[in-house]
Amino acid sequence: MRQVKDLLQGKGREVFSVDPDQPVLAAIQAMADHHVGALLVMQAGELVGIISERDYARKVILLGRSSAETPVWQIMSSPVETVSGQHTVDACMRLCTDRRIRHLPVMDAGKVVGVVSIGDLVKAVIDEQAEELAQLQRYIAG
């Protein structure tokens, strides 16, 4: 089973973040600019939360709040579920399913080294299954 560190090698370790005091509107704009569904909320280099499109929809739009006036810290999810590079894809899939989350920051020695999404995990499972199928077909044909 593939590990998170293997996924990060393939997808990269770029992390997009926002300060907790920034307005939600800035976070939503950053998500749109980077084509991501969530941003890490970082303060002085430390992970303090995560803000997602889901947080925005449920905690700003549905409550009639102003995205220009609401700071990120008021709607971010905290504490954040994290994983290490040694976690397996399967364990991360279970965590996302059980906790109903879509993004997992990856930590190493207390520092954020990347983020994996449910999409990254599903792709990894599909790729692994395709490889197993190809091996079985070669074995049968062989």
Q: Which residue ranges form the domains of the chain, and what is each CATH number?
A: 4-141 (3.10.580.10)
Please give the Cα distance from 72 to 76 (Å, whole number): 6
| Average pLDDT of the residues of the chain | 94
Q: What's residue 96's pLDDT?
A: 97
> pLDDT over 90 for what percent of the chain?
85
Q: Which amino acid is at 128?
A: E
pTM: 0.88
> Using alpha carbons only, what angle is made at residue 121 by residues 7 and 139, rounded to the nearest 5 degrees?
80
Residues of the chain with pLDDT under 70: none
Q: Residue 133's pLDDT is what?
A: 87
Find residue 111's DSSP bridge partners.
Answer: 108
Q: Is the dihedral of CA 53, 58, 59, 60 positive or negative?
A: positive
In angstroms, what CA-CA distances link 8 with 15, 108, 113, 124?
11, 12, 9, 11
